[in-house]
Amino acid sequence: MRKAFLKKAQGTLTTWKDQVLKQLNAEVKEGREAALDEGMDTYDLASEERSREINLILSDRDREKLLAIEEALDRIRNGSYGMCDMCEEEIATERLEALPFTRLCVSCQSDLEKEAKQHRRGDEDRGQRRTSLVDLDDDNL
Ligand SMILES: [Zn+2]
């Protein structure tokens, strides 16, 4: 892996991580304020306690995302970034650019997805409904 590429991936991942954490902090703060309404500063909490609290609030999906980001950052640090977990081939850079925390190459990922589909039917509902402009019947006047 090229250094410049790794640096860029690291930047992207760090930004994402910050965003997730910022969002969570806001949620934690809100929860606190609702719970004990004492003007206590959430940001003063020891980070260990805060991360424990964050863990309670995190949905599985958020936790997975955060974990994936952390792991990707670890892999950048220890030099194993960009290798497929399953076949140990290098993951295409375009794929890494689109999905910086992916651990699988395209073919392993699609194998996995095929398998997952056999287990449960995907019921994705991505239908976007566009409200069409109301047709004007200009028969007035
Ligand atoms: Zn693979």
Tell me: the pLDDT tens digits for 67-104? 999 999 999 999 999 999 999 999 999 999 999 999 99
Give domain status of residue 61, yes or no.
yes
* Phi-psi group of 82: left, alpha or beta (phi > 0 → left; psi -120 to 50 → alpha; rest → beta): left
CB environment 33-54: b (16+ within 10 A), e (fewer) = eeeeeeeeeeeeeeeeebeebb
Cα 87 to averaged position of ligand 1 atoms, centre (Å): 4
Cα 126 to averaged position of ligand 1 atoms, centre (Å): 28
Coil, strand or helix at 54: helix
CB 91 within 8 A of CB 109: no
Look at the chain and count its residues.
141
CATH of the domain at 17: 1.20.120.910
Q: Tens of pLDDT along 107-135?
A: 999 999 999 988 875 444 444 444 444 44
Q: Which two tokens stand for residue 88?
A: 């140990």
Q: Given this model, what pLDDT does residue 49 score?
A: 67
Total domains in the chain come to 1
Residues lining ion ligand 1 (Cβ < 5 A) are: 84, 86-87, 105, 108
Cα 80 to averaged position of ligand 1 atoms, centre (Å): 14
Residues 6+ apart with CB under 8 A from 81: 1, 6, 9, 72, 75
Cα 68 to averaged position of ligand 1 atoms, centre (Å): 17
Give domain status of residue 54, yes or no.
yes
Give domain status of residue 133, yes or no.
no
Give domain status of residue 114, yes or no.
yes
Look up the pTM and report it.
Answer: 0.60
Domain around 63? 3-118
